[in-house]
Structure 1
């Protein structure tokens, strides 16, 4: 049901649980759904939206007859700025007793707003064959993203199987790495409700971001493999209904999972076809052919997403013996086996 005041961006999805839709620039993944759990002894906010959406969040909470200072706990599904961006502002209004809980194994990722050093990111882009001029443009992204979120400290580290009181609901933490290394879902077994963050989305396949680590020449963790293992973990729960961080409510998880798997298969086939000439290519060049509608000179964020997507596919293709790679002249070159 929607609120009586007609606010179509805030609705009660279950007793004491309110879905609040907040603006996010760009068409995809679309506006952010955050969830406010209002109980007798506990008020918990699941994700926060960006800092720029703080005013909209504050108004929505006020429409419920509450103030941000009434929030006892913030739970973050992962360390992307559209999910933690307003946490620091809420903390300033709530006071020092506010608990910020997340699965960040390295809490510095939210304290600084970046998961790895800028050098690690720059070195990775160079290895992928991204031209120097484009890498310089992409450095601006860190400035852009800094405007979308204020950094803050995580006070409680969540782990697999932890039970988190959220309003009147005791929700279980389900670690679902893939989209990020620290992604989690929250599952309420008695009702079959799963709050999926960005791990399960109804309208697009979540990007399995490359998992960069300071000190590694190339990322070793396989984001795509972890993502689909996490999909199998959600499948084992048999959720009745899924409330994602973007898009509509999901009532048929299997249909969404099949969409992901088919999309992955098709993308694998396209990458192999691009490499059929048996000539070595850079990851950046493959990405340009795989996503021809991207303007490779104007969309630095989309370029990173495309390069990340191709690299994480290549990791598994190499594991299967379908491609081989070598580093030559500071660039990773790929060809079909």
Structure 2
């Protein structure tokens, strides 16, 4: 399976190479007894994809961001990387480890398991697994945006808002319309004062908004057509209609653990220790966790801070003392490089505007900081 693993040792496996998986792997690398355990990071892709910068990457080739947002795992210390797509988790017995079955037929035993399989994203940034597939998709979207003149975005969450800003930065003459199901942009996890500021910022950039409505039909890209919303509004001459709905938990393979593991929404049922309910020694982190909070990359480190010590305690047959108590809601949404708004659930609930949003995120999408997490 990997020349970097010692077959005489047991494996602790982290499944998923996104934000939560990286934070869990880095934490375990520092705390595991490497004389007894191999630490393995299993991911279907050959590198980390910085989803925070994905929208800017697919809209335009400016800055050649793909060279910065696709980051190899080879500088993670004391971590053996295995590329493969997981298709089944075959648990020996609760608390007794098991075997991970990969699409190519390979099998990887585990003594403890961290599931950090992340989200499935709207098609625009739902990248494939192979390097050539990822890069081809980026190229196709860039060519498409360069030709589009009238774009309709279905979804007024953070993805739709950021996408509108990136389009207008790269192509200022493109007409952009957001169709959103709610009365205000975003959702009610955030206060109205922030959502109102967000709408003001989006409108100031020239984006047209259609509220309390839906797009049900998505024509082929660059096929000019009149878009008729569910409520009957006509958006004339659209040549690109993009779904930008919220992400969904990527947990299909997690269901192979057995019945009752997933909620109706597809999230993983966990105890406050972030151990999967009914499956000792198996943990979940990141977007897939059933917890009443917004699913964001910023939550990953807090999840890892609970999972890592509890994995170590499990392996030592000691009580698991760390529990997750949730995280404050914070979000920064650029509308291009120089515009946007942010919300921080501290004090009275702080809302920030264009300048601070640009400094915190919009200008460079914290690409350098994120590369640093993988030691680049």
Task: Tell me if TM exceeds 0.5.
Answer: no
Q: Which has the larger radius of gyration?
A: 2
Structure with higher helix content: 1
**TM-score if structure 1 supplies the norm length?**
0.32
**TM-score if structure 2 supplies the norm length?**
0.29
* Larger RCO, structure (CA 8 Å, separation 6 or more): 2
